[in-house]
A and B are shown apart, each in its own frame.
Chain A
Amino acid sequence: MKKSTITGALLMTLFSAAAFALPPALPKIGGIDFKPPKGDRLVMDNGMVVYLMKDNTLPVVHMTAYIRTGKLNDPIEKIGLGEMTAGLLKDGGTLKYKPEEIDKTLEFLAASVESSMGIEEGRADLTTLSKDLDAVLDIYADVLMHPAFAEDKVKLRRDETLEMIRRRNDDPGRAVVREALRSFYGPAHPYGWRSEEATVNAVTIEDMKAYHANYYKPNNIILVAAGDFASNGEMMKKLEARFGAWPRGEVKFPVIPPVQIKGERQVFHIEKDISQAFIVMLQKGIKRFDPLEYPLTVTNEILGGGSGLSSRLAAEIRSRRGLAYTVYSYSAKKPDYGYTLAYLGTKPETYSQALSELLKQFKLITEVPAPADEVTRARDSIVNSFVFRFPTPFDLITERASYEYYGYKPDYLDNYVENIARTDSKAVLETAKKLFKPEEAMLFVIGNSKKFDKPLSEFGTVTELKED
Chain B
Amino acid sequence: MKSLALLPMLMLCCASLYAVEGSKDALPPGAAIEKDPRYPALVSYTLKNGLKLLILEKHFVPTVSFTMVFKVGNVDGTQGKTGLAHLMEHMAFKGTKTINSAGYDKEKTALDKVEKAAKALIAEESSSSPDAKKLEALRKAQAEAEKEADNFIVKDEYLNLYKSLGEHAMNAMTSTDYTGYVVSLPSSRLEAWMTIESDRFKNAVLREFYRERSVVMEERRMGEADPNRLMWETLTSNGFTAHPYHNPTIGWMDDLTRLTRTDAEQFFKTFYVPNNATLSVVGDVNPAEVIRLAEKYFGGWESKPLPDRTYTKEPPQKSEKIVNVFFKAKPAVRIGFHVPEVTNPDTYPLIMASEVLTNGKTGRFYKNLVEGKELALYAASGNSFPGNRYPSLFVIMSAPKAPHTVDELDSAIMEEIAGLKKVPPTQWELDKIINNYQAEMIKQLESNSGLGMNLAQNEEILGDWKYDWKTGDELRKVKPEDIIRVAEKYLTRDNRTVVFLREPLKKD
Contacts and interface: CB of A to CB of B under 8 A. Distances in A.
B32 interface: no
Interface in A276-316: 276, 278, 306-310, 315
B322 interface: no
A32 B186 contact: yes
Contacts of A110: 432, 435-436, 438-440
Contact of A109 (B62, B212, B435): B435
B414 interface: no
B175 A10 contact: yes
Which of A6, A16, A20, A345 has the largest count of B CB atoms less than 10 A from its CB? A6
B168 A307 contact: yes
A275 B371 CA distance: 36
A321 interface: yes
A23 B211 contact: no
Interface string A107-144: 11111000000000000000101010000000000000
A7 interface: yes
Interface stretch (A53-61, A75-83, A213-221, A253-261): A53-61
A10 B388 CA distance: 13
Interface in B391-415: 395, 397, 399, 401-402
B435 A167 contact: no
B229 A20 contact: no
A273 B328 contact: yes
A12 B328 contact: no
A188 to B, nearest CB: 27
Given A12-B250, A274-B328, A325-B222, A5 B382 contact: yes
A322 B90 CA distance: 12
A372 interface: no
B167 A12 contact: no
B222 A326 contact: yes
B164 interface: yes
B189 A29 contact: yes
Q: Binding site of B, secondary structure by majority: helix, strand, loop or mixed?
A: helix
Given A7-B175, A14-B173, A384 B360 contact: no
A1 B440 contact: yes
B98 interface: yes
Contacts of B172: 13-14
A29 B192 contact: yes
A129 B199 contact: no
B221 A391 contact: no
B157 interface: yes
- Chain B's interface size range is 35 or more
Contacts of A324: 215, 218
A374 B236 CA distance: 45
Nearest to B330: A167
Given A27-B191, A131-B10, A20 B160 contact: yes
Contact of A59 (B166, B380, B431, B442): B442
B436 A27 contact: no
Contacts of A167: 329-330, 377, 399
A253 B300 CA distance: 66
A178 to B, nearest CB: 16
A323 B217 CA distance: 9
B154 interface: yes
B61 A391 contact: yes
B156 A315 contact: yes
B385 A7 contact: yes
B195 A25 contact: yes
Given A14-B90, A275-B225, A347-B221, A308 B62 contact: no
A386 B166 CA distance: 8
Contacts of B330: 166-167, 170
Contact of A392 (B10, B60, B90, B328): B60
B89 interface: yes
A422 to B, nearest CB: 18
Contacts of A171: 225-228, 329
Contacts of B211: 319-322
A272 interface: yes
Contact of A6 (B17, B162, B395): B395
A106 to B, nearest CB: 8
A466 to B, nearest CB: 13
B308 to A, nearest CB: 25
Interface stretch (B116-124, B134-142, B444-452): B444-452
A276 B218 contact: yes
A361 B25 CA distance: 51
Contact of B170 (A58, A109, A308, A392): A308
A129 B447 contact: no
A26 interface: yes
B360 A10 contact: no
Interface in B75-132: 86, 89-90, 93, 98-99
Given A320-B208, A380-B165, 11 more contacts: A6-B385, A6-B397, A10-B175, A10-B233, A19-B154, A107-B432, A108-B431, A127-B443, A160-B377, A315-B155, A319-B155
Interface of A: 1-3, 5-7, 9-16, 19-27, 29-34, 55-60, 103-104, 107-111, 127, 129, 131, 156, 159-160, 163-164, 166-167, 169-173, 272-276, 278, 306-310, 315, 318-326, 345-347, 376-378, 380-381, 383-388, 390-393
Pick the 7 closest A-B CB pairs, nearest first. A384-B166, A322-B214, A30-B188, A110-B439, A310-B159, A6-B382, A325-B219
